[in-house]
């Protein structure tokens, strides 16, 4: 009598167990990759908003010390632009004699991640404005 070679039940169960472990690992990697891609997209949009706010500083209105706040139309991103006049610590009176002033402009953009944690990006620059 010829004996046929075939898989036993134990071999089939072990093969399915290994296959399920591999698939679970692949799905976890894929899911975390999608999550990270979404997080990077939100970060990129916040960075673009901060750059836009810095670029518009001093264009529509003259630079002045203070803060401006706002949010995007979809209410996902909140931004704050703060402007501070830079003063020479060694000679504060010198600034009154100069025709130009130096301002530090900082744009901060905040948003809530899907996990509920607040994320934030901040950019700053120095701008020169003519004294009045």
The reply to whether the predicted model has a pTM over 0.85 is: no
CA–CA separation, 80 and 67 (whole Å): 7
Number of CB atoms found within 10 A of residue 57's CB: 19
C-alpha closest to that of 105 among 129, 73, 131: 129
50, 108 Cβ separation under 8 angstroms: yes
* Predicted local distance difference test score (pLDDT) of residue 87: 80
C-alpha closest to that of 66 among 86, 85, 40: 85
Give the pLDDT band of residue 108 (cuts 50, 70, 90): very high
16, 88 Cβ separation under 8 angstroms: no
pLDDT digits 0-9 by tens, 25-49: 999 988 888 888 888 999 999 999 9
How is the chain split into domains, by residue range? 9-130
Q: Does residue 6 carry a pLDDT above 90?
A: no
SS3 state at 39: helix
Q: Does residue 130 carry a pLDDT above 90?
A: no
107, 54 Cβ separation under 8 angstroms: yes
Residues 49-71 have a mean pLDDT of: 90
pLDDT digits 0-9 by tens, 72-81: 999 999 999 9
* Predicted local distance difference test score (pLDDT) of residue 120: 96
């Amino acid at each position: 009598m010829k004996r046929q070679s075939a898989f036993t039940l134990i071999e089939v169960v072990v093969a399915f167990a290994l296959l399920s472990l591999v698939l679970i690992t692949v799905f976890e990697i894929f899911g975390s990759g999608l999550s990270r891609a979404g997080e990077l997209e939100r970060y990129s949009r916040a960075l673009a908003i901060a750059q836009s706010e810095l670029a518009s500083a001093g264009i529509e209105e003259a630079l002045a010390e203070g803060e401006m706040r706002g949010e995007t139309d979809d209410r996902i991103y909140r931004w704050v632009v703060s402007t501070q006049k830079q003063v020479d610590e060694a000679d504060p009176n010198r600034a009154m004699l100069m025709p130009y002033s130096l301002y530090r402009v900082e744009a901060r953009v905040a948003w809530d991640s899907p996990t509920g944690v607040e994320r934030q990006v901040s950019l700053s620059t120095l701008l020169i404005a003519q004294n009045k």
